[in-house]
């Protein structure tokens, strides 16, 4: 017997619009995909509260993005800040590149990942014998223009934390081995989750996330029953369940897409900018990162609500 598969088989993802409660976490994720420069989300909460499910659901919901075909770094075909050096050189030489649409990458960073797995590796032997820079991309390369998810981020090794923070801040990853250097874009939304009972979060890590959402186990019995029922329906018949939420999913996808397009035109009045900075000053927030993140989040929220001005 021959099994013929006419189209790729994708594992069904629980729909974002079907997730009950946890509004703070959902809004923080939506605002970050509208404006990735907000700086990511740190989600802390109890086990079994839907952290991983929600993060995977938002990635599955996002509109497809344009990318250079067969590019290892998901290079943007028009934005130089989001394309690899090879793609940039190819365009500068007047050559044409094929463009395709891909799903927004959603990359999991496991706790036991090595530095080479995260950053990528250079084939030193090929470089020395053939003079060719051969690079095996890591997770940071695959996460470019997507979401990098770190579960149990409070248990991650210190040196990997430093690598993540450097790449998230600069938007680039540099790999150096034996005097050979390769860099590539690593512009991603950094999403971390963890359980406070399993370890404290390092202050320098918490400071680098633009938003922080704290979630707790639902106590209302009726709401708990509704959550269990929804999950049971999905597990029993994923296709039928996804069909039920297809219109809601499409509406939210279009809302996010429109917000991304309109973000640059959103007006944040001067008096509100003063109010934001005043609050940050009164709270003794170190530096100006708080001011910048709040300004960006306010604009993203206005775009999400289809408003032209922050109110």
| Joined tokens for residue 50 | 């839907």
Exposed, middle or buried, 2 (CB in 10 Å: 0-12/13-18/19+)? Answer: exposed
Cα separation of 14 and 231, whole Å?
A: 8
Query: Is 183 a catalytic site residue?
Result: no
Q: Are strands 99-102 and 65-68 parallel, antiparallel or unpaired?
A: antiparallel
What angle in degrees, to the nearest 10, is found between the helix axes of 289-304 and 23-34? 90
Cα separation of 302 and 304, whole Å?
A: 5
Residue 67 three-state SS? strand
Helix (H) or strand (E) holding 270: helix 270-282
CA contacts within 13 A on the Cβ side of 48: 6
DSSP states along 132-143: ---EEE-HHHHT
Backbone angles phi, psi at 65, to 5 degrees: -120, 155
Q: Single out the catalytic residue among 117, 289, 296, 305.
A: 289
**Catalytically active residues, by annotation:** 289
């Amino acid at each position: 017997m021959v099994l013929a598969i006419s189209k790729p088989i994708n594992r069904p993802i629980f729909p974002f619009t079907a997730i009950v409660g946890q509004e703070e976490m959902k809004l923080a994720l939506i605002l970050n995909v509208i404006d990735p420069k907000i700086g990511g989300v740190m989600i802390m909460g109890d086990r079994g509260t839907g952290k991983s499910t929600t993060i995977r659901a938002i990635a599955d919901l996002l509109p497809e993005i344009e990318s250079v075909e067969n590019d290892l770094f998901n290079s943007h075909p028009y934005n130089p800040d989001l394309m690899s050096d090879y793609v940039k050189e190819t365009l500068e030489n007047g050559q044409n590149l094929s463009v395709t649409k891909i799903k927004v990458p959603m990359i999991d960073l496991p706790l036991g990942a090595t530095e080479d797995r995260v950053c990528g590796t250079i084939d030193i032997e090929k470089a020395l014998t053939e003079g060719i820079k051969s690079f095996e991309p890591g997770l940071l390369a695959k996460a470019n223009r997507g979401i990098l998810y770190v579960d149990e981020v409070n248990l991650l090794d210190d040196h990997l934390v430093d690598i993540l923070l450097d790449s998230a801040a600069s938007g680039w990853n540099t790999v150096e081995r034996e005097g050979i250097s390769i860099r590539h874009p690593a512009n991603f939304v950094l999403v971390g989750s963890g359980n406070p009972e399993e370890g404290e979060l390092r202050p320098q890590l918490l400071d680098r996330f633009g938003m922080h959402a704290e979630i707790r186990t639902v106590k209302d019995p009726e709401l708990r029953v509704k959550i269990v029922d929804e999950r049971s329906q999905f597990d029993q018949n994923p296709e039928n369940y996804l069909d039920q939420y297809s219109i809601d999913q499409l509406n939210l996808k279009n809302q996010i897409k429109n917000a991304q397009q309109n973000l640059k035109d959103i007006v944040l009045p001067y008096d509100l900018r003063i109010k934001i900075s005043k609050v940050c000053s009164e709270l003794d927030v170190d530096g100006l990162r708080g001011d910048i993140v709040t300004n960006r989040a306010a604009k993203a929220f206005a775009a999400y609500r289809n408003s032209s001005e922050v109110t």
